[in-house]
Structure 1
Amino acid sequence: MARNRGDGLLAKVDFPLYTLQTLTNRHVIVAGGGGASNTGVANGFEIFELSHNGTKFVAEEVMRHETGPNVVMNCSVRSIQNRTYLAAGQESHCQLYKVNIRMVDTAEMRRGSFRAENGLVRRRRRTVSENDNISKMDSNCNTTEKRISFEIRPSDSVQTDFCEDPLQRVVTISPSGELMATGGVDGIVRVWSFPQMKLLFELQGHTKELDDLDFSPCDNRLVSIAKDGVARVWSTDEKAPPLLQLTCQPPGGTKYLFRRCKFGMIEDKPNHYRMFTIANPLSRSGKQKGLLQLWEGRAGTPLRAVLVAESLSALAVRDDGRYVGVGTMFSGSVDIFIAFSLQRVVHVNSAHRMFVTGLQFLPVRGYGPSIISDAQAALLSISVDNRLVVHTLPARGTMPAWVAVTLIVFVMFCTFCLCSYLGI
């Protein structure tokens, strides 16, 4: 039975949000902007640190990095040998950023001096009274607490789309961090070495612009979907032919087009994985339902499917493969499903005022200490309404020991009385 709950707003920024990634087990980065037009709406990234105060999740802004006139429409994050990289789609190009992670004193973080030393990072000026209060807090602290801080520095940039009006629509970095795949309006999947960003080969099989890409957990497969209605599974070996071509198979014979695709691990089974897709009906007449599908990862065999009340816009799979999240197109609602059965366990109606643009589960196998909470899963969502929201699946309730003992004694007493009454 789905639980209808809304855990609420974590943060609100001053620009539309298009992409969301996790940096550590407790840090997330959101990005977006208002574009190149002179509207006064910023373009860039914001990093937040999440925690749980015993009652709910809370977020604290760590840093902000503005990207000038370039809006960030898509991005992917990967840590390689203790270095973290961020690949971001900005118009026709993919911009690489190096994300430096270091530990700073809490007092230094409060002053804001830990932030990146470039002119694109904005921070609010503190008043004299605020600085005096911080100095008093520092003098009263007997111990020095360390916290994680970040510095974002631009690196290389490459053009990834070459049509008449070029636009990179999606980028993803492989789990090993050795490959990067990009897709754009020209319909060509390009595979690059990473982090060198040297073009290795192109995959041509789609006739329309790309919508999504994802690498398998073992790095050996890449799934792509486009507006031509086809999902293709490729080998990451340049010389191998396309492995699979998948078409959406909805109930009732209605024609659907794929929208998003994601691989997911299978718990306790290394080198085994599933694949998930969301699809929307081609016809827009009437109240149409979105489709979430589960596929066998290697053979591409459809295993299960479930209809959702409306068209879908976002898809996420938790890093251990246990849960799947989807976001809707019109009402801004969010759902969480159990991955292997596609049973819905959380429904949040109208979590956002507009369509959901990005979803990410808080990781359970990421970098750094995990957040201690009473939730089995925590799903983050963003939208062009500028809001970062969290949705949780509460832990299963447990029965206190004294209640269990009382019930056992009561059942035994009732059984004894019944036996005595029947003369047994």
Structure 2
Amino acid sequence: MGRRRRHPVFYCAPFPLYSVRIDPIRGLIITAGGGGASKTGIKNAVHFLQLEQISGRLSASLLHSHDTESRATMNMALAGDVIAAGQDSNCHILRYRVLSQEERADMKKQEKAETNDRTSRNRKSSRVSIDGGIRGTKDETPEVSIELLHTVQTDTSADTLQKAVCFNPDCTKLLTGGVDGYLRVWEFPGMKKLLDFKAHNGEIEDIASSPGNKMVSVGQDFRCCVWEADQLLMELHWNENLPSIPDKMYRYRACRFGKVPDQQDALCLYTVQIPYKRERRPPPCYLTKWDGLRFLPLVTQPCGNEVISCLAVSDCGKFLGLGTVTGSVAIYISFSLQRLYYVEEAHGIVVTDLAFFPGSRRCRDLQGDHETALLSVAVDSRCKLHLVPNRRTFPVWLLLLLCFISVVLVVFLLQETFPDLL
């Protein structure tokens, strides 16, 4: 299914996008990025997008823009109505609330009352702007209120960059990893530091947490480590059954836990391995599926020669999403690691994050008659939607009936053509 085609833009922001998440209850898309501290005029913000079905098609519109001043949000994690946003060397804990029409009306009344307390000259100019708003100019009353709960330092390196963040499954802890190689665990929502230890010699690329309180981290030091608290349980070796691949030829890029469909207590871990050195003829990247309880490798498959930049797993555990540094997006079946969907260069540059539609009722309604839906964002400022139609399946009894009819027809034709044969 690897054909190259023009892929429509779902939403375009006025700044590079680095992270995307979906609120399962409200059906909101939360995406963020920016130009950082450089004085280029490119803003830094978190955008809240409203999803709607219009004429049978999904549409996204900007609901609210939250200015993050000189800090670009490079990664995010979502727990209910709380966002953990990685900005420079800090993690900002934000709570958001979607305002009702009554709350917005109260805010407008309060703003009008404050305006009326000014001098007569200011009151006159304010009255003009209010009248103009009634006649059709943009209503500046925010649709979403944002409250900063905490700010904690999550990286102490000279580069000052948090590279990964995630909540544990029951959202009682927050995990962060940075350029300094330290894995830090915070109590949530109080944000008291519980653990702070050196996990990798170099940058942490990704982290994941399992329901059994185990943590997995991958770093640029070629290691993928399984932790219980700050104790190293084991290092994973994806190529131990592939002796033709040397240890230092590939490094880990991403890790994610995922459910096993139809198996309540089962769990899988997925890792992505990318070439350490770029060559004229690039070797393939690899996708590995592990037993998430015993951490034994189950399946390893090549996933193309484009270098993988990010990984996502659907809530149901059936699908994996991959983004590449050349802008391509692919969806794989988690059971067999076979590619189901692929768009070459869906973005003009590196894909920075992916998010599957959650399995909530609200998101299933928005998803419509599609088996899964995936959002991708990239440095090209675009957010794109990838839909996989429901695959048509037939019941077993119907297939058996069709086989029986086919056999009868073949026998009948043979008897008519060669009457002495039977």
Q: For 1:336, give the aligned amino acid.
A: I
Moved more, 161-170 or 344-353: 161-170
- Please report how far the alpha carbon of residue 207 of structure 1 lies from its aligned counterpart in structure 2 after TM superposition: 1.0
2:221 is matched with 228
Q: Secondary structure at the match of 2:345?
A: coil
Partners of 1:60 and 1:406 in 2: how far apart?
Answer: 48
Larger Rg: 2
1:247 is matched with 237
Q: For 2:147, give the aligned amino acid.
A: R
- Please report how far the alpha carbon of residue 212 of structure 1 lies from its aligned counterpart in structure 2 after TM superposition: 0.6
1:11 is matched with 11
2:310 maps to 1:314: yes
Q: Secondary structure at the match of 1:253?
A: coil
Contact 1:266–1:273 under 8 Å retained in 2: yes
TM-score, structure 2 normalization: 0.82
2:336 maps to 1:341: yes
Q: What RMSD over aligned residues (CA atoms) do the two structures have, in Å?
A: 3.5
More helix by share: 2
Aligned pair in 2 of structure 1 residues 369, 77: CA closer, same or farther (>3 Å)? same
Partners of 1:328 and 1:22 in 2: how far apart?
Answer: 21
Partners of 2:239 and 2:391 in 1: how far apart?
Answer: 34
2:279 is matched with 285
1:301 is matched with 296
Contact 1:34–1:71 under 8 Å retained in 2: yes
Unaligned runs of 5+ in 2: 110-128
Moved more, 366-375 or 261-270: 366-375
* Superimposed CA distance per residue, residues 142-196 of structure 1 (whole angstroms, 9 cap, x where no aligned partner): xxxxxxx632222210111123443211111112110001111111101000111
- Please report how far the alpha carbon of residue 2 of structure 1 lies from its aligned counterpart in structure 2 after TM superposition: 5.9
Q: For 2:287, give the aligned amino acid.
A: L
1:332 is matched with 327
Partners of 2:62 and 2:98 in 1: how far apart?
Answer: 15
- Please report how far the alpha carbon of residue 129 of structure 1 lies from its aligned counterpart in structure 2 after TM superposition: 9.5
Give 1:361's match in structure 2, choosing from 353, 356, 365. Answer: 356
Contact 1:192–1:201 under 8 Å retained in 2: yes
Q: For 2:354, give the aligned amino acid.
A: L
Contact 1:161–1:185 under 8 Å retained in 2: yes
Unaligned runs of 5+ in 1: 115-124, 136-148
Aligned pair in 2 of structure 1 residues 411, 269: CA closer, same or farther (>3 Å)? closer
* Superimposed CA distance per residue, residues 83-128 of structure 1 (whole angstroms, 9 cap, x where no aligned partner): x1101111111111011245448xx79xx979xxxxxxxxxx9995
Contact 2:288–2:300 under 8 Å retained in 1: yes
Give 2:346's match in structure 1, choosing from 348, 351, 366. Answer: 351
Aligned pair in 2 of structure 1 residues 413, 290: CA closer, same or farther (>3 Å)? closer
Contact 1:360–1:380 under 8 Å retained in 2: yes
Contact 1:4–1:346 under 8 Å retained in 2: no
Aligned pair in 2 of structure 1 residues 67, 365: CA closer, same or farther (>3 Å)? same
Partners of 2:108 and 2:204 in 1: how far apart?
Answer: 41
- Please report how far the alpha carbon of residue 42 of structure 1 lies from its aligned counterpart in structure 2 after TM superposition: 0.6
- Please report how far the alpha carbon of residue 260 of structure 1 lies from its aligned counterpart in structure 2 after TM superposition: 0.8
Q: Secondary structure at the match of 2:184?
A: strand
2:124 is matched with none
Give 1:90's match in structure 2, choosing from 68, 87, 90. Answer: 87
Moved more, 261-270 or 361-370: 361-370
Contact 1:5–1:346 under 8 Å retained in 2: no
TM-score, structure 1 normalization: 0.81
- Please report how far the alpha carbon of residue 54 of structure 1 lies from its aligned counterpart in structure 2 after TM superposition: 5.5
Q: For 2:259, give the aligned amino acid.
A: M
Q: For 2:225, give the aligned amino acid.
A: R
Give 2:370's match in structure 1, choosing from 364, 369, 375. Answer: 375
Q: Secondary structure at the match of 1:371?
A: helix
Q: Secondary structure at the match of 1:381?
A: strand
Partners of 2:6 and 2:287 in 1: how far apart?
Answer: 22
- Please report how far the alpha carbon of residue 224 of structure 1 lies from its aligned counterpart in structure 2 after TM superposition: 0.6
Moved more, 16-25 or 85-94: 16-25
Q: For 1:324, give the aligned amino acid.
A: L
